[in-house]
Every structure is written in structure tokens, then in C-alpha cells.
Amino acid sequence: MLLPTQNSRAAFLLAGGKSSRMGTDKALIEFRGQTLLARGLHTLAATCGDVTIVGHQETLAGHASVISDIFPGCGPLSGIHTALRHTSAELNLVLAVDMPFVQVGLLQFLLQTAQECDAVATVPQTARGFQPLCAVYRPGFAAAAERAIHAGEYKVDAVFSSISLRVIGDAELLAAGFFERDFFNLNTPEDRKAAESFPSEG
């Protein structure tokens, strides 16, 4: 079933990871007074309106519309694939639940950049590499992702060589007012502790 969209844009929050390095479900961790799930939903909703969670229905039911991975256990690539198989939107904003510093302005910038090109994926790239879990995808990415999954290749970056890609590099991000820290993600308790010491947004 294709999910309803508005203005050919849709938003998806990836919250189906195993959270093995964190030791508990990252989506339900509290960070500065909100769960990571609530923060991600709020930021995406302020950008696109309705948000769909890609994750475990049994643990996330009741929070918002939740869909489960078509290929469970295959990492974030499977989450992106699932999102794109459930959308009729041209531009699909994808955000990982463990990126608490992503702001509405950054997501709007990504969408605007994607709108101005015909690339299958519009992806930021910082000094730490591609940021595929804060990016915009057109539905055509799903077929390439599915081929990679069937081949046992679960890294999102590995699919980029087979599609048209719009890379937003460090200099372009900086010129627009965005920084490396905006993409910081919480994988471990140490990451969470470090993030708590960062200056507050705004």
C-alpha cells in the first residue's frame, strides 16, 4: 500500500536498528528532555508534515504510523528500501533516529537541493564521509537497494556508484550555515555522554 503524501514529499524516520552498541533501544533514549524518537518525529513533521516510522511495530506502535522492514536484519539500507516501497512521493526525506542535532533548516535545505536536480539521491558529505541517513531519495533508489540486499551488500554508500547522485559537500554545507556536528549520531553510551556536553541548539 502506498502511503499518502503532500506536495510529492514524504518523511521517514529510521528507528529499526538493533542498538547493540548502545545496549538499549536508541529510539526510546531520553536526550535533553525528549526521547530520540520524539525529537526525530518533531523535526521531520515540522519539515514535511506526516511522518512514517520504519521500525519494530511491536515496540513503536502508538507513536505514529509504523512500517516494518521488508528485509529484516539488513541494516539501514533495508529501512530506506522499505520507505521507498511504501511511498508515492517524488522526494523522500530519510532521517535516522539517532541524529538529535539535525534541525528543520538543514532538512529544508536538503529538500530544496533535491528539488533542483534530478538525482536519485541527494546526500550530504562531511569530513567523516557520506551522511546517507540524513538524505533525500527518489523512488528509483529502491530497485538499486534491493539488488544490493540480494547480493549481500548492506552498506548504503555502496549503492551510490550505481545511481545518479547529488553530493552536498563540506564547503556547500558550511556556506549554508551547517556543520559537522549537525550530523552527529549516538551509537554508544560514550557518544550520548559527549552529545550532552555540546552547546544547546540555537
Residue 132 lies in a domain: yes
| CATH code for position 135 | 3.90.550.10
By DSSP bridging, strand 121-126 and strand 129-130 are antiparallel
Question: Which residue range is the domain that position 137 belongs to?
Answer: 9-183
Residue 192 lies in a domain: no
Residue 30 lies in a domain: yes
Residues constituting the chain: 202
Among candidates 124, 131, 129, which has minimal Cα distance to 169? 124
115-121 mean pLDDT: 97
The region of weakest confidence among 86-95, 153-162, 191-200 is 191-200
Residue 61 lies in a domain: yes
Residue 133 lies in a domain: yes
Residue 202 lies in a domain: no
Q: How many domains does the chain have?
A: 1
Residue 47 lies in a domain: yes
Residue 2 lies in a domain: no
Decide if pLDDT at 23 tops 70: no
Percentage of the chain surpassing pLDDT 70?
87
Q: Cα–Cα distance between 173 and 66 in angstroms, integer?
A: 31
Reported as a single tens digit per residue, the pLDDT across 30-83 is 888 889 999 999 999 999 988 999 987 666 656 668 999 999 999 999 999 999
| Average pLDDT, rounded, for the chain | 88
Residue 104, phi-psi category: left (phi > 0), alpha (psi -120 to 50), beta (remainder): alpha
Contacts of 126 (CB under 8 A, 6+ apart): 170, 173, 180, 183
Neighbours of 98 (CB within 10 A): 24
16-28 mean pLDDT: 64
User: What pTM was estimated for this model as a whole?
Assistant: 0.90
Reported as a single tens digit per residue, the pLDDT across 130-170 is 999 999 999 999 999 999 999 999 999 999 999 999 999 99
166-186 mean pLDDT: 95
92-118 mean pLDDT: 96
72-99 mean pLDDT: 96
| pLDDT tier, 20 (very low <50, low <70, confident <90, very high otherwise) | very low
Kindly give the residue spans of alpha helices, DSSP state H, lying in the chain: 36-48, 57-60, 76-85, 104-115, 141-150, 156-159, 170-175, 189-196
